[in-house]
Amino acid sequence: MEFRHCGLYFATEQIDYARKHRKESPFREAWNMLLNTEIPEPLAALQWGGLRFRFADNLAAGRAVLPILNESMFSAMVYEVLLSHPAEYRDAMRGMMTLAHCFELLRDHPAYPRADQEQWLEIFSGYVDNLRVQVHEPTTLETIWLGALNVIAGIVLERVGWFETGVAIYRHAIGDVIHQDGYLLGVANTGDGWGFENQISAITALVLTAEAAGHVGVDLWSYNVHDVSISTAVAYPLAYYSQPEKWPWDTGLHETDVTRICRHCCGFLEIVNRHHEETLKSIKPILAGLRPVYECHGGGLTTLSHALVKRLFFK
């Protein structure tokens, strides 16, 4: 394992690929979105500035959001309030992971002093340490997100122990939580009306875990137990995308519900498609209606960082 610091979920090779194909679809649309979209929400604006710095080499955009990163972001997330409400535990972890993504995007900006970086890392470490000590018995879904947070924080802080804890949670999810049919036990089949959305949330956490780990040399994408892997979990809800009324775990699931969930929680699709373009063909038509894909808590502008151009074959 070798710690690398670029963007958590992508490396310089993917930046080069996006630049090389910037005039081709879907990169053309993703570049247009990156360069011409204004986002007022602080955390998303911070991420957007980091992406512009990384992909477009826009020093000014990165410099403009550095004050958000070091001076106001932690307080803006109202960390103490989130922890006082157990139902928001997952949101706190997702927020910390996204903030870590933003830090990695801006980590080597020339206007970011080393002393400020060290201060940020110290504060972040304390917050994550508190999140790792659960204030209540975590649900299966929360445990999966906790694993993702451990991997992400382990990379950012270069803490091997935290990273390995997250990897162990991921492997447990593959071996003991994902049913051989693909649904996640204790996540999709809880009967509370949130099964489809929670399955997508768990998949997002697992995908971000696998992608981040892969960029430091640990392959979780191919990890399987009796042929059950992350792709097994991804394929399951996609099979109901065009026929949600057949979803077995929540009554009254409609196409509008599925479309809304996938539109707002679809960042993982581009990442998975990059790894399983040939085996999970059902992703392509879904992506066609969603691109360019941006999800703040799902890896950012993943069409830009993970899409593949259409391959043309000639006989």
Any domain includes 35: yes
Q: Is 88 exposed, middle or buried (0-12, 13-18, 19+ CB in 10 A)?
A: middle
Any domain includes 103: yes
Residues 140 and 185: their CA atoms lie apart, in Å, by 8
pLDDT tens digits along 12-29: 999 999 999 999 999 999
Any domain includes 312: no
Any domain includes 236: yes
Q: Which pTM was predicted? A: 0.94
What's the pLDDT at 192? 87
Q: Is 246 exposed, middle or buried (0-12, 13-18, 19+ CB in 10 A)?
A: exposed
Please state the domain count of the chain: 1
Identify the bridge partners of residue 300 per DSSP, sorted by sequence position: 295
pLDDT tens digits along 75-97: 555 444 344 444 488 988 998 99
Any domain includes 208: yes
**172 vs 168, 176, 191, 220, 247, CA distance in Å?**
6, 6, 23, 12, 25
DSSP state of 100: H
Instruction: Domain of residue 176: give its range.
Output: 12-306
- Average pLDDT score over residue span 128-140: 86
Residue 288: which residues within 8 A CB-CB, separation 6 or more? none
Please check the confidence at residue 134 and state whether its pLDDT lies above 50. yes
Closest alpha carbon to 43 in 295, 302, 305, 303: 295
Residues 269 and 267: their CA atoms lie apart, in Å, by 6
Per-residue tokens: 174: 């593959």
Any domain includes 24: yes
pLDDT tens digits along 59-70: 999 999 999 888
Contact in structure between 208 and 9 (CB atoms under 8 Å): yes
Residue 89: which residues within 8 A CB-CB, separation 6 or more? 82, 83, 131, 134, 135, 136, 138, 142
Identify the bridge partners of residue 225 per DSSP, sorted by sequence position: 228
- Average pLDDT score over residue span 145-150: 97
pLDDT tens digits along 159-186: 999 999 999 999 999 999 999 999 999 9
Residues 273 and 80: their CA atoms lie apart, in Å, by 37
Q: H helices of the chain, where?
A: 12-20, 27-36, 42-56, 59-67, 73-76, 79-84, 89-106, 114-132, 140-157, 160-172, 195-214, 230-238, 255-264, 267-275, 283-288, 302-306
What's the pLDDT at 135? 64
Q: Which long-range contacts (CB under 8 A, 24 or more apart) does 30-39 make?
A: 30/291, 30/292, 30/301, 30/303, 30/304, 30/307, 31/304, 32/292, 33/292, 33/294, 33/301, 33/303, 33/304, 34/301, 34/304
pLDDT tens digits along 260-299: 887 778 899 999 999 998 889 889 999 999 999 999 999 9
CATH code, domain carrying 274: 1.50.10.100
Least confident of 45-54, 61-70, 83-92, 103-112: 83-92
